[in-house]
Amino acid sequence: MLKLWKLFRFLKFPVVILLSIMRDKIISNASELFITYGFKSVTMDDIANQIGISKKTIYQHFENKTKLVEATTMHMFEIISHGIDCICELEKNPIEELYDIKSFVMLHLKDEKSSPQYQLQKYYPKISATLKKKQFEVMQKCVTDNLKKGVEKKLFRQDINIDFISRIYFNSMVSLKDQDLFPLNNFSMNMLMENYLEYHLRGICTPKGLDILTKIINKNKNQQ
């Protein structure tokens, strides 16, 4: 009996790993399709064809499309949150840090041409609300730390209200993705974020900070 149990454990372990690998593969490919084409537009058939598996295999891992959407949004959230943490650990000056974070986020969201956030809010409101809460917690801490560091380095004004600015920053970033305010046909997400970041920083920078900001803006223009 003991030998049979050991054999069962030996055979079961690789199966668990394979199931985990397949689940991760589904999430990774689904995330790519959702970001590119939108949460509403992409079907389970599209995802199955992309991976080269049957739709039945997907349903073995995810009860329905809603569960898959939830898993992919949390997956992308974790990737972006980890990336932001890594950028902050580099301890660059806070102005450069914000531009690096913006570039990192845009790299993963592909300019959001398919308006995934709009579709998430419309068709999966509960998932959208959960994601927004998590995003607020991460972004407020990130922006608060960034503002404190800027004040310490005398790049940001000493009299700024850090709690207020961190909250208005998050609210503004969310509003940039409102298609009623900023239709994608007229405003690319990269252009919106670039302009808002300059707007945000010009309002809080000291003369020393403005010098750094101007250099970064000119550098970015030369690279376009």
Residue 11 lies in a domain: no
Residue 116 lies in a domain: yes
- Cα 188 from Cα 157, distance rounded (Å): 31
Question: Alpha helices of the chain — where are they, by DSSP H?
Answer: 2-37, 44-51, 55-61, 65-89, 94-109, 116-123, 125-152, 162-175, 189-202, 207-223
Given a cut of 50, whether residue 2 has pLDDT beyond it is: no
- Helix, strand or coil for residue 129? helix
- Residue 193, exposed/middle/buried by CB under 10 A (0-12, 13-18, 19+)? buried
CATH code of 145's domain: 1.10.357.10
Residue 15 lies in a domain: no
- pTM reported for the whole predicted model: 0.85
What does pLDDT average to over the chain?
89
**Beta carbons within 8 Å of 102's beta carbon, 6+ residues apart:** 193, 194, 197
**Beta carbons within 8 Å of 165's beta carbon, 6+ residues apart:** 143, 147, 204
- Does residue 190 or residue 29 have the better pLDDT? 29
> What mean pLDDT is predicted for residues 1-29?
66
DSSP per residue over 56-90, as a string? HHHHHH-SSHHHHHHHHHHHHHHHHHHHHHHHHHT
Residue 200 lies in a domain: yes
Residue 179 lies in a domain: yes
What pLDDT, in 10s, does the model give residues 96-143? 999 999 999 888 776 555 678 888 989 999 999 999 999 999 999 999
What pLDDT, in 10s, does the model give residues 52-94? 999 999 999 999 999 999 999 999 999 999 999 999 999 899 9
* Cα→Cα distances 80→8, 37, 49, 53, 190, Å: 39, 19, 27, 28, 16
Per-residue model confidence (pLDDT) at position 113: 57
> What mean pLDDT is predicted for residues 189-200?
94
Domain containing 102: what range? 65-223
Are the C-beta atoms of residues 119 and 173 closer than 8 Å to each other? Answer: no
Residue 50 lies in a domain: no
Q: What is the torsional sign of CA 153, 154, 157, 159? A: positive
Residue 132 lies in a domain: yes
Residue 134 lies in a domain: yes
Report the domain count for the chain.
1
